[in-house]
């Protein structure tokens, strides 16, 4: 009887060890296949017009007394938060960049020491309202292609791991009026090709002609 | 001794059963988290100009004798293949649609009985070269918004499970000249919001004004 109890205990132990080993294997496999907390999100525009002043402030309460609504999270505020989450690098490849709030976000990222690189379209960079000159004056490196075709991308890479891409040009009309989308993902199979394309275009563009 | 062998065998059996149960659990969990063969792909443009005639032909060899290169897979041919893979539904939400090859692909999909719905921008639908009139004449339902803002999306949903989205308008310039991207994904967290947005816009747009 004693022998039987002993062997039952051994069998149970063996089962438990086998279970824990497979559980460990399962956890490791899942981590490899899908990094913990992989972000996948889609933002649609037009975005409701609300005050975004608090995003640029370190104060606990919003310091702004403007007449806009305060508080609600919108597609624009989500986009600004993603841009400002950059801690080491921010690579922008944007056809049309004239939105003042997005420009302010990029300047804030640059001011905290993050390496910012901007690729844009040479024709659009030259029009009134473009923020490319503002970025360059702040010391941000901005390049554009010298060929006759359009650099029509609208994507951003945050720390080389988060991709923001879609139909949205970084303009006031794009954000507040048009029907647009921005897809936000950390999915490596989607991020990697954009990182490589940015590198390819950056090298190819060199220091193209830009408006001050 | 006999007792010992018997219990060792039992212990091993128990371990094996535990292992097989956890392995089954693992497989089911993986299937739920990431459907087998989830597609994630990025296409960059401009696409090399090659003959795509074979994509529209059921013949084993390309029937075309045009002077273009034959055979190589390009970003355009990949995009055409994805569009033509539709077997139950094809939902298009495209700002500018003037590319003849992409129009031909949509007509081929419609001809095999797939439900095709097209949302487009009312201003662009009216310009010379737009293929919206061609699609409508073939009996495809196309709608556009009556508001003054732009429907600037450029996405397609194949069978409600595959999303094609990016900066690319379905134009000749977009495909052959500009620097553009199309992100292709089956990731449910990315596809679902686009399916819902298409449904919302489709209901909202009703039957707007369109060129014949």
- Confidence (pLDDT) at A75: 96
| Residues shown for chain A | 212
Tokens representing A155 are: 């994507």
Among residues of chain B, what percentage have pLDDT more than 70?
Answer: 92
Mean pLDDT score of chain A? 89
Q: Do A152 and B187 touch (CB under 8 A)?
A: no
Helix runs in chain A, H state only: 2-33, 75-84, 100-111, 122-125, 132-137, 172-176, 188-205
Q: Which of A45-59, A124-138, B17-31, B39-53 has the lowest mean pLDDT?
A: B17-31
CA-nearest residue to B177 within chain A is A149
Confidence at residue B169, expressed as pLDDT on a 0 to 100 scale: 96
pLDDT surpasses 60 at B209: no
Rounded mean pLDDT of A3-25? 77
* Mean pLDDT on A105-114: 97
Beta-carbon separation of A174 and B152 below 8 A:
yes
Which token pair is B2? 């006999």
Chain B residues touching A201 at Cβ < 8 A:
179
Number of other CB atoms surrounding residue A197 within 10 Å:
18
pLDDT of residue B212: 44
Mean pLDDT of B180-202: 97
**pLDDT computed for residue A18 by the predictor:** 75
Which DSSP string do the residues of chain B spell out, in sequence order? -HHHHHHHHHHHHHHHHHHHHHHHHHHHHHHHHS-TT--EEEEEESPP-B--GGGG--SSS-----SSB-S---HHHHHHHHHHT-SSEEEEEES-B--HHHHHHHHHHHHTT-EEEEEE-HHHHTSTT-SHHHHHHTT-EEEE--SSS-B--EEEEETTTEEEEES--BSHHHHHTSBEEEEEE--HHHHHHHHHHHHHHHHHH-S-----
Stretch B118-129: mean pLDDT, rounded? 87
pLDDT of residue B73: 93
Does A10 score more than 80 pLDDT? no
* Mean per-residue pLDDT, B187-201: 97
pLDDT score of B59? 77
Per-residue pLDDT, A211: 45
* Pick among A183, A199, A201 to test the B interface (most B CBs inside 10 A): A183
Over range B152-168, report the average pLDDT.
Answer: 97
Q: Which residues of B touch A26 (CB under 8 A)?
A: 22, 25-26, 29
- Which chain A residues are closer than 8 Å to B7 by Cβ? 3-4, 7-8, 10-11
Q: Which of A70-79, A90-99, B8-17, B66-75 bottoms out in mean pLDDT, i.e. has the lowest?
A: B8-17
Compute the residue count for chain B: 212
User: What are the residue numbers of the active site of B?
Assistant: 152, 154, 159
pLDDT at A61: 72
Whether A156 contacts A164, CB under 8 Å = yes
In chain A, what percentage of residues exceed pLDDT 90? 60
Nearest residue of chain B to residue A25 (CA atoms): B26
What pLDDT is recorded for position A31?
63
Q: Is pLDDT of B208 > 60?
A: no
pLDDT of residue B31: 63
The arithmetic mean of pLDDT across residues B185-192, rounded, is 97
For testing contact with chain A, the best of B15, B41, B121, B122 (most A CBs within 10 A): B15
Closest Cβ–Cβ partner in B23, B185, B201 for A179 = B201
**What is the token pair recorded at A71?**
């508080």
Instruction: Characterize the bridge pairing of strands B154-158 and B89-94.
Output: antiparallel
Give the residue-averaged pLDDT of A9-33: 75
From chain A, the residues in CB contact with B150 under 8 A are 173, 177-179
Question: In terms of pLDDT, which residue wins out, B99 or A127?
Answer: B99
Average pLDDT over residues A144-161: 92
Residue B79 pLDDT more than 70? yes
Contact B179 A33 (CB under 8 A): no
Q: Residue B136 corresponds to which tokens in the numbers above?
A: 């409508």
Mutate to test the interface with A, among B181, B198, B199, B204 (most CBs of A within 10 A): B181
What's residue A3's pLDDT?
66
pLDDT given for residue A212 in this prediction: 45
Confidence category of residue A34, pLDDT binned at 50, 70, 90: low
User: Sorting pLDDT into bands at 50, 70 and 90, what band is B211?
Assistant: very low
Distance CA A180, CA A158 (A): 20
Q: Is the pLDDT of residue A199 over 90?
A: yes
pLDDT of residue A119: 96
Report yes or no: B122 and B208 within 8 Å, Cβ to Cβ: yes
What's the whole-number mean pLDDT along residues B15-44?
78
Q: Which residues contact B32 (CB under 8 A, 6 or more apart)?
A: none
Sequence-distant (6+) residues with CB within 8 A of B17 are A15
Task: Give the residue with greater pLDDT, A112 vs B60.
Answer: A112
- Chain B residues near residue A29 by CB distance under 8 angstroms: 26, 30
The whole-angstrom distance between B159's CA and the closest CA on chain A is 19
């Amino acid at each position: 009887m004693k022998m039987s109890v002993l062997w039952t205990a051994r069998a149970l132990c063996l089962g438990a060890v086998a279970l824990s080993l497979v559980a460990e294997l399962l956890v490791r496999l899942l981590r490899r296949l899908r990094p913990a907390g992989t972000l996948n999100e889609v933002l649609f525009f037009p975005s409701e017009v609300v005050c975004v002043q608090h995003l640029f402030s370190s104060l606990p309460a919003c310091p702004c007394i403007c007449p806009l609504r305060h508080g609600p999270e919108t597609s624009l505020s989500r986009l600004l938060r993603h841009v400002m989450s950059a801690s080491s690098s921010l690579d922008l490849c944007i056809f049309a960049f004239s939105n003042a709030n997005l420009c302010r976000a990029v300047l804030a990222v640059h001011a905290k020491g993050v390496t910012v690189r901007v690729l844009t379209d040479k024709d659009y960079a030259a029009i009134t309202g473009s923020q490319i000159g503002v970025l360059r004056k702040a010391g941000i490196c901005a390049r554009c292609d010298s060929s006759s075709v359009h650099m029509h991308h609208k994507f951003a890479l945050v720390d080389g791991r988060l991709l923001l891409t879609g139909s949205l040009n970084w303009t006031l009309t794009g954000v507040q009026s048009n029907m647009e989308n921005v897809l936000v993902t950390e999915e490596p199979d989607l991020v990697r090709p954009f990182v490589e394309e940015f590198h390819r275009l950056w090298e190819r563009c060199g220091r193209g002609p830009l408006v001050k």
